[in-house]
Amino acid sequence: MKQIHIAGGGLAGCEAAWQVARAGGRAVLYEMRPLRQTPAHKTGDLAELVCSNSLKSEQANSAPWLLKEELRRLGSLLIGEISPRARVPAGHALTVDREIFAAEITRAMEADPAIEIRREEVTTLDANHVWIIASGPLTSDALAQEIARITGSNRLYFYDSISPIIDAESIDTSIAFRASRYGKSLDGTADYLNCPFDKVQYDAFLDALLAAESVPAHIEEDRPGPENVRYFEACLPIEEIARRGRDTLRFGPMKPMGLTDPRTGRRPYAVVQLRQEDARAGSYNLVGFQNHMRFGDQQRVLRLIPGLEHAEFLRFGQVHRNTYINGPALLTPTLQMRTRPEVFFAGQISGVEGYVESIATGLIAGRGAVALAGGQVPRAFPRGTAMGSLAAYVSGADPLHYQPANITFDLLPKLENPPRDKKTRYAEVCRRALDALEEYLCAHV
Ligand SMILES: Cc1cc2nc3c(=O)[nH]c(=O)nc-3n(C[C@H](O)[C@H](O)[C@H](O)COP(=O)(O)OP(=O)(O)OC[C@H]3O[C@@H](n4cnc5c(N)ncnc54)[C@H](O)[C@@H]3O)c2cc1C
């Protein structure tokens, strides 16, 4: 069997290497640290957590729990074995001691005879190898250039500018109205929900936005300032746009042109447009509303938008440095490149967001790569599972509006007869996912 070459010994790379070894394959794991550091990592350990030490909720029947539960059932090293040993008390969240976590994973990698660790920077991708690219959001420049060469430079991004996503059921549709600008729609239906502002509402919203607190930047490149203006011009956070003048938002992402509020028969003073995404069931994206606000402030300020007074947030906006590819334009649900099936992507660079999501895609790529190297066809996870839904989003969302995703219930398929009560509904989605996973495991032992 061919060796699997893994670029990057972070969360995704280590989980991938472990999966390769457990399936009887051999992995070469390349990690450039400590010889070459990233702007966020501090140590030479593998699988270093660069910021928070939380692997999110362990509350049964939540989406982050479901993903972790599936990973445990699939024999994940990082979630199933190491996290419980490194766990520190933190209520319902799975929170770990970052030093123990990284040290234990490093030891597990070093002790495994089927894993060879090479402390070197990958700069080219030998076309004769099976590769898993797991070099993370801070991929080195040389490798980023090589990835751009094989994917096309217009499919590789260096900055994440994520707008918030809200639960469709929490939108007040007696205020938000359905319409496309100038009545122009791609498919004959009105594509957007529009939240209309009058002047008083706009002024109140702007004041709250300008007073909101920003998330402190983790790395120098993420700090707004003259040297970083180049980044921010491409994906300016709304609070930065607001600082440029009281009307700047009204002439930018909140422009009301071509829209008439059916309640007043007039053009609103400003609007926020909400777009439903095909790949996400029952949720809406606030178009152009990427922002840097603390999550608490974000919720408070965005609930001032008419129609969103009771909005439930499935994801908050973010703006930060992130190297990632346009997965839907490039990948299959097994995370292989469509044009070069021997190249897999995993972790943040594949277009997911978050520690556990990176681990999950590492597991998918590791299993797929070892199958391919053994002459088999890699198999996608069932669509009804959180693993399968994450991979389906990364490979099948709309490539034109692609934004990296955390696991949330709106990525999973809708139930046919959904119970009205949300708790019961989510419990049912989780039960269906775990049943589908068990079936898959029985069929593919
Ligand atoms: C500053 C910052 C803070 C974040 N905070 C959080 C958070 O609090 N919670 C959360 O859930 N997510 C967070 N994320 C997002 C993401 O979950 C983490 O970055 C996560 O570590 C991604 O896992 P990964 O395996 O894809 O990448 P990483 O864990 O970063 O691993 C990639 C590895 O590849 C190595 N590498 C890079 N280039 C090369 C090369 N050419 N050759 C060899 N090795 C290379 C790197 O040194 C690194 O060790 C954050 C991201 C950033 C940038």
Where are the domains positioned within the chain? 4-162+320-443, 165-316
Distance from C-alpha of 206 to C-alpha of 140, rounded to nearest angstrom: 39
- Residue whose CA lies nearest to ligand 1 atom number 14: 354
Counting ligand 1 atoms within 8 A of each CB, the residue from 35, 138, 231 with the most, and so the one to mutate, is 138
Distance from C-alpha of 354 to C-alpha of 347, rounded to nearest angstrom: 8
Counting ligand 1 atoms within 8 A of each CB, the residue from 6, 121, 348, 390 with the most, and so the one to mutate, is 348
Alpha helices in 32-178 (DSSP H): 63-73, 83-86, 98-111, 141-151
Q: Check residue 81 and report its DSSP letter.
A: I
- Does residue 333 have a cis peptide bond before it, meaning omega lies within 30 degrees of 0? no
Task: Check: CB of residue 377 under 8 Å from CB of residue 368.
Answer: no
φ, ψ for residue 216, nearest 5 deg: -65, 140
Taking CB atoms within 8 Å and a gap of at least 24, the contacts of 139-146 are 139/8, 139/323, 139/349, 140/32, 140/36, 140/38, 143/7, 144/323, 146/122
Counting ligand 1 atoms within 8 A of each CB, the residue from 36, 46, 119, 358 with the most, and so the one to mutate, is 358
pLDDT of amino acid 214 = 87
What is the model's pTM?
A: 0.89
Q: Which residues have any ligand 1 atom within 6 Å of their CB? A: 7-13, 30-33, 38, 40-41, 50-52, 121-122, 134-140, 143, 218-219, 321, 347-349, 354-355, 358
pLDDT at 277 over 80: no
pLDDT of amino acid 267 = 97
Task: Check: CB of residue 20 under 8 Å from CB of residue 31.
Answer: no
Tell me if 4-162+320-443 shares its fold with 165-316.
no
* CA 43 to ligand 1 centroid distance, Å: 13
pLDDT digits (tens, 9 = 90+) for 214-223: 887 766 666 6
User: How would CATH label the architecture of 165-316?
Assistant: Beta Barrel (2.40)
Q: Once rounded to an integer, what is the mean pLDDT over residues 134-161?
A: 93
CA neighbor of 271 nearest in space, from 177, 345, 364: 177
pLDDT at 138 over 90: yes
pLDDT of amino acid 153 = 87
Give the number of other Cβ atoms within 10 Å of residue 116's Cβ. Answer: 15
pLDDT digits (tens, 9 = 90+) for 301-317: 999 999 999 999 999 99
* CA 376 to ligand 1 centroid distance, Å: 30
pLDDT of amino acid 232 = 46
| CATH code that applies to domain 4-162+320-443 | 3.50.50.60
Confidence of residue 224 (pLDDT cuts 50, 70, 90): low
- Residue whose CA lies nearest to ligand 1 atom number 16: 354
* CA 320 to ligand 1 centroid distance, Å: 12
Task: Check: CB of residue 392 under 8 Å from CB of residue 383.
Answer: yes
Percent of the chain at pLDDT above 70?
A: 94
Q: Once rounded to an integer, what is the mean pLDDT over residues 97-112?
A: 97
* CA 40 to ligand 1 centroid distance, Å: 8
